[in-house]
Amino acid sequence: MEREDEALRGLLRRSRPEPPLPPGFATAVHRRLQAGKSATSVQGWPAWLDALAEWALKPRWAIAGLAVALVCGSLWGAWDGMAMAKQNARTRYLASVAPYANP
């Protein structure tokens, strides 16, 4: 049975003759491949952007980035809050003891 299949495949291959390749075919293919590669590298940034998006979507980096935003925001907010609280307290004290003060 397997030998018959093999014989059939050989018969089919022979029945579809492959035309000869035109002269310089391989060179032309290489040239086109080279042109395509340099076009991509001239545009450049889409590949870079894709890589960045792919990198940023990795859970480890996404969580780390959001955690950094959370921590930095909180620290800056606490710093601002302390300064604001001090300013409010100073205004309050000055208003109570010095009506002519310029807080």
Partner 1 sequence: MRRSLIILAAILLAGAAIFQTAHWGARQICVARTVQAWDDLQWLRLEFKLGDEEIGRIRQLHEGYLPQCRRYCQEIARKNQELSRVLQADGQTPDAQRLLREIASIRVECQLEMLKHFEAVSHAMPPAQGRRYLGEMRRLTLGAHESLEQSMVSPDHSAHAHH
CA dist., res. 75 & res. 80, Å (int): 9
User: What is the distance between the alpha carbons of residues 58 and 53, in angstroms, rounded to a whole number?
Assistant: 9
Q: Which residue lies nearer to partner 1 by CB, 30 or 43? A: 43
Binding mask 10-49 for partner 1 (x = CB under 8 A): ------------------------------------x--x
Q: Shortest Cβ distance from residue 32 to partner 1 (Å)?
A: 23
Site pattern 67..86 for partner 1 (x: CB under 8 A): --xxxxxxxxxx-xxx-xxx
SS (H, E, C) 2-57: HHHHHHHHHHHHHHCCCCCCCCCHHHHHHHHHHHHHHHHHHHCHHHHHHHHHHHHC
Q: Site residues (CB under 8 A) for partner 1?
A: 46, 49-50, 52-54, 56-57, 62, 65-66, 69-78, 80-82, 84-86, 88-90, 92-94, 96-103
